[in-house]
Chain A
Amino acid sequence: MATQRVLPQSKETLLQNYNKRLKDDIRSILDNFTEIIKTAKIEDETQVSRATQAEQDHYEMHVRAANIVRAGESLMKLVSDLKQFLILNDFPSVNDAISLQNQQLRSLQEECDKKLTSLRDEIAIDLYELEEEYYSSSYSQWDSTDLPLCEAYRQRDSWASPGSSCSSTQGDREDVDGPPSQETNPQHHLNGHGTASIEKP
């Protein structure tokens, strides 16, 4: 029915088009409404018969009412276009929305990581106690090359204070001597028992 409107090139042209549409639609509503009210006035003297005049007035009011409704719908379309233009081109608000979203996502990520870190620390403490219990019992079948967490802590403490005696529950612990590199202790602390990737000198 209506050919597709060619979109204007620049934003100034687009905004001027919006202004024009606004003015035209408001003007259309006011003029058509005013004319309807004027037509509603009963006149005694008419150029044609009363019936003809009434029919003409009826048709005119019909058309003007349709014009008012069309102008109203055109205003609604204009509001929709303005909303779309606002979402796409209002950079200050888009920047604010992006920074707010980033802030929320980062805080969620930090909270998640903080809880995971505290969980890791709690489990490391429990693991230390469990290993101490296990390796001091008669059920342990650990390999002499592996260093459980409790022993790693003991050795680290003994190296830190050479005067203190290094208590070892296993007799063949001399095979596992030579201080491991400093980096292995934090790794033990982090990973607990069984990190075979640690190289012993």
Chain B
Amino acid sequence: MANERLRALEEVEKEIAMILQCAGNIVLELSKDKHNASFLDRQLVQFQSSVNRVENELSSQIRYLTQVATGQPHEGSTYSARKDCQMALNRAEYAKVKLGELGRTCEVMLEQQQQQQQQQQQQQT
């Protein structure tokens, strides 16, 4: 829900840029010797619609904030859940480290056993 309102405000920013661009195109077209009437009409319609959209959208956002805002700071937080999750990840990391040590110990033991077997075979031959 919050993302939708923020996205709507980002669209409003693009509309404001469109307003200025349309105004510039209209003045540029009027500066020419021969005007393209259809182009002027299109740009003017777009200019007016953008202005209306910006005004309506910003007015509705301000109206919504008038209803919703309390002036008090929000005191919610995700700290406890984040801490629990962090501890769970630490537990998993610790288990991974211990299993890694166990694996290395087993490999060392196996190498020693193989060396002993090779020595015994050499002695027999």
Contact = CB atoms under 8 A, between A and B. Distances in A.
B66 interface: yes
A108 interface: yes
Interface stretch (A99-107, A136-144, A153-161, A177-185): A99-107
Given A101-B81, A102-B78, A109-B88, A79 B2 contact: no
Interface residues of A, number: 50
Given A18-B62, A89-B69, A94-B74, A29 B19 contact: yes
Instruction: Tell me what chain A mostly uses at the interface: helix, strand, loop, or mixed.
Output: helix
Chain B interface extent, by class: 35 or more
B91 A116 contact: yes
Interface in B6-34: 6, 9, 12-13, 16-17, 19-20, 23, 26-27, 30
Interface of A: 10-12, 15, 18-19, 22, 26, 29-30, 33, 36-37, 40, 61, 65, 68-69, 72, 75-76, 78-79, 82-83, 85-98, 101-102, 105-106, 108-109, 112-113, 115-116, 119
Given A15-B65, A79-B58, 12 more contacts: A12-B66, A19-B59, A19-B62, A26-B55, A30-B51, A61-B27, A90-B2, A90-B64, A91-B74, A96-B1, A106-B81, A112-B92
